[in-house]
Amino acid sequence: MKLRFTTLLFMCLALAAGFSSGLQAQNFANPLPIPYLLPGPEFDIDITSAQHNFDPNATLTDINLNVMLSTYCYNEVGNTGMTYNGPTLTFEKGGEMNLDISNNIDEDMGTTVHWHGLNVPAKEDGGPHQVIEHGATWSPTLPIVDPVQTIWYHSHLMDFTTDQVIRGMAGLIVVEDPQNDPLYSELPHDYGVNDIPLNIQEKGFVLDSSTTPPTATAIKAGEKPGNGPWTLVNGVVNAVARVPRQVVRLRILNGSPRKMFHIGLSTELENPTTFADMVMIATGGGYLPAAIPVSSSLMAVGDRIEFLVDFSSYENGTTLYMSNLAVPSDANYGTTLGSALMAFVVDESITPDNPVTTIPDELDTEYKLAEGEVARTRDKELLGKKGSGDLWTIDGTPMDMSVINDIVLVNTKEKWIIHNTTDVAHPFHIHKVQFQVTRYDGLLGTMDDPGQWEYPDLPPDLIGYKDVQLIRAGATLEFEARFDFFPSPLLASEGFMYHCHILTHEDNSMMHQFVVVDSADFPTSVKEPTTQNVLMVHPNPVANTLTLKGSFNEPGTLRIYNLAGQMIKEEALNVPADAVLDVRDLPRGAVVVEFSTVSDRFIQKVLLE
Ligand SMILES: [Cu+2]
């Protein structure tokens, strides 16, 4: 698999170089598609195969992309509006979303739907454990405890995320709170008019070179890497959006499999030197404390950033391009064709429902770290292929869905330190939490020289609540995050992922999982109990004597922990299947009973009353 990866990458780059030599001026003539809005709280969604045209106005001259190609898409049942990607879902903060999601694609394969950025119970996370088999329906219930933010949903099928995302399995989600969000009325929110969703994705196509120009016959998928030199915005190349001559909100997602995009807005198409202010107002985790004007921004894979752009300083009819600017070599995962990713045309005849003419300075309250002491610090290392048997890994151990790599106590704050010791950049992503960067050491963003930043003095690349942070080659990221809500049993099947969001790296083992429990500070690497052995501890609740019953016949050790993670009893048991344990000397309250042998492990929570 690894040899194939390298060979394909080389071929891909060679292909891209060949095409860029014959490039003509870009023709931005495909109106930007706006995914339809799908409000909650009840959702009935079909995942299907479809046919999609990525270049409906034949803007490309080097290849013929004005053809129908096989894709995957999400749609509300009965709606066929999307033929690639999915509708924009709206989740109301504080509400409970009920979804029925059916896998009706044409191929006999499973999928998953991951809520990227959302804090939900492990069973509802839509990670690799929650497979929706072909023909089946998955019905998660999502309590929305997160603040107002822009997140997304995408396939997270073990080993096949790259393929499924490339074929279209991705869509945006807006968490909103119109009643209580004081910024709601101040910011553009006329969806598709002055509040514009932009999903930027790289794409490769399989070409039939017997025609002139070569005709696309399929999306380059089913092999790794399935990326490519063309760029889509909302599913088309060379997109153009007409925007009001006012303040416009751009909700941008880098939904690519592999590529970082360095974007800026300019009236100059080729080699731009002057840029419009893009005012950052939100990261993936929600509003920033204050609006931050930037002239360009490096968006990592998986990143969402919301920008406000004031188009009133441009004459009616002006075209601005979203420039495709240089990306540092360690973060550059392949050539991108074209000087710009899309175009905007200022059109004063467009009148949004909530016209916004000024950009607010203050957004949220003062930016400070989430409350609580750091309960635990973890160090992780992103390792390159050389150091770990031809795989990309975290700490040298490949992803194993049956292994719990980290156990986190619910309602605590932790500090994680991620060292990137490889010679390429990796966008680090963690499920469930939105973290805050406390320190960063090394190359950052598009900078050529390394630096050091520490909270509270953070540049635009590091500020705000995030679930993705690009870690350049050799750099170290340190963040703090609270692991609140929704504890689960200590089972690997209740794992939340953390991984590199370059999908080919994720699929190639740069992923681990953590479980959030409400009980104890367990050892850091455990196997899930085997199905053959069972052990029951009863009665529960218990006052005096616990009886163990079950099929464990190996000798082992029984330990009892209190909820602060302290071990309060330890005893060797030779015949655990029928052991009796006196617990009268233990303090009352909930405890965790653990029995472990050399080959197995059993956990049960018990109430001492
Ligand atoms: Cu990576």
| Span from the CA of 510 to the centroid of ligand 1 (angstroms) | 7
| Span from the CA of 472 to the centroid of ligand 1 (angstroms) | 10
- From 403, 386, 393, 385, select the one nearest 507 (Cα to Cα): 393
Tokens of 124: 């509802």
What is the CATH code of the structural domain delimited by 529-608?
A: 2.60.40.3080
* Domains in the chain: boundaries: 2-346, 374-517, 529-608
Instruction: Find the largest Cα–Cα distance for the chain.
Output: 85
Q: Give CA–CA dist 463/441, Å, rounded.
A: 14
| Span from the CA of 532 to the centroid of ligand 1 (angstroms) | 37
| Span from the CA of 344 to the centroid of ligand 1 (angstroms) | 32
| Span from the CA of 502 to the centroid of ligand 1 (angstroms) | 5
User: Are both 2-346 and 374-517 of the same fold?
Assistant: yes
| Span from the CA of 140 to the centroid of ligand 1 (angstroms) | 29
| Span from the CA of 5 to the centroid of ligand 1 (angstroms) | 14
| Span from the CA of 230 to the centroid of ligand 1 (angstroms) | 21
Which architecture, in CATH terms, is 2-346? Answer: Sandwich (2.60)
Q: pTM of this prediction?
A: 0.83
| Span from the CA of 505 to the centroid of ligand 1 (angstroms) | 5
| Span from the CA of 414 to the centroid of ligand 1 (angstroms) | 23
* Nearest-5° Cα angle at 48, 43 to 54: 110
Predicted local distance difference test score (pLDDT) of residue 532 = 54
Predicted local distance difference test score (pLDDT) of residue 358 = 94
| Span from the CA of 301 to the centroid of ligand 1 (angstroms) | 10
Options 3.40.50.150, 2.40.420.20, 3.30.70.20, 2.60.40.420; CATH of 374-517:
2.60.40.420
| Span from the CA of 219 to the centroid of ligand 1 (angstroms) | 23
| Span from the CA of 426 to the centroid of ligand 1 (angstroms) | 4
Q: Specify the 3-state DSSP secondary structure of 490.
A: coil
Residue ranges in the chain modelled with pLDDT below 50 = 1-23, 388, 520-531
Predicted local distance difference test score (pLDDT) of residue 102 = 98
| Span from the CA of 503 to the centroid of ligand 1 (angstroms) | 8
- From 426, 343, 319, 323, select the one nearest 383 (Cα to Cα): 426
CB 113 within 8 A of CB 103: no
Predicted local distance difference test score (pLDDT) of residue 9 = 39
| Span from the CA of 575 to the centroid of ligand 1 (angstroms) | 47
Tokens of 530: 């085997």
| Span from the CA of 227 to the centroid of ligand 1 (angstroms) | 14
| Span from the CA of 477 to the centroid of ligand 1 (angstroms) | 14
According to DSSP, the β-strands at 170-176 and 476-483 are unpaired
Predicted local distance difference test score (pLDDT) of residue 135 = 97
| Span from the CA of 246 to the centroid of ligand 1 (angstroms) | 39
Question: Over the Cα atoms of the chain, what is R_g?
Answer: 26
Q: How far apart are the first and last CA of the chain?
A: 56
| Span from the CA of 524 to the centroid of ligand 1 (angstroms) | 23
| Span from the CA of 415 to the centroid of ligand 1 (angstroms) | 21
Residue 368 CB burial class (10 angstroms; 0-12, 13-18, ≥19): exposed
Predicted local distance difference test score (pLDDT) of residue 24 = 58
Predicted local distance difference test score (pLDDT) of residue 568 = 87
